[in-house]
Structure 1
Amino acid sequence: MKIKVDFDLCESNALCVAMAPDVFELDDDDYLQLLTEDTTPENIDAVQRAVAACPRTALSLED
């Protein structure tokens, strides 16, 4: 599955970073950066939690 971010909705509040730090990070200007678009068996659970926890529904998964 591919990870998608709607940067127009994203508030960069870092909930996703806390849940999946190997996939998401904040840059020096506090903007969300996606480190990879692909999920793996190792990160899928954390990514799904991050998608569900996003307060602005800026994150999604696509097949």
Structure 2
Amino acid sequence: MNAKLTVDGSLCRGTALCVALAPKVFRLNASGEGFPVVRLLRQPDIASVEAIVDCCPNGAIALEMENE
């Protein structure tokens, strides 16, 4: 199973929690908003990023599961 990772820039407030928890997956853009540098995830990466999705204080991060 794969998962598509997105960050809604209109909800992101630049707390950088995602970057702190997964610096290989997230970065901040010039406006200070988080964005995924890895957009398509596979297990076991999905499980670790799911926890970060739940930690985002503004609910800006989403994982959409896809069937292979």
Indicate the residue corresponding to 2:64 in structure 1.
62
RMSD of aligned alpha carbons = 1.6
Q: List alignment gaps of at least 5 residues for structure 2.
A: none
| Structure that is richer in strand per residue | 2
In the TM superposition, what are the counterparts of 1:3-42 in structure 2 within 5 Å? 3-42=5-44
Q: Displaced runs of 4+ in structure 1, greater than 6 A?
A: none
CA distance in 2 between partners of 1:46 and 1:12 (Å): 20
Q: List alignment gaps of at least 5 residues for structure 1.
A: none
Question: How high is the TM-score relative to the length of structure 2?
Answer: 0.76
Q: Give the total of aligned pairs.
A: 63
Give the % identical residues. Answer: 37
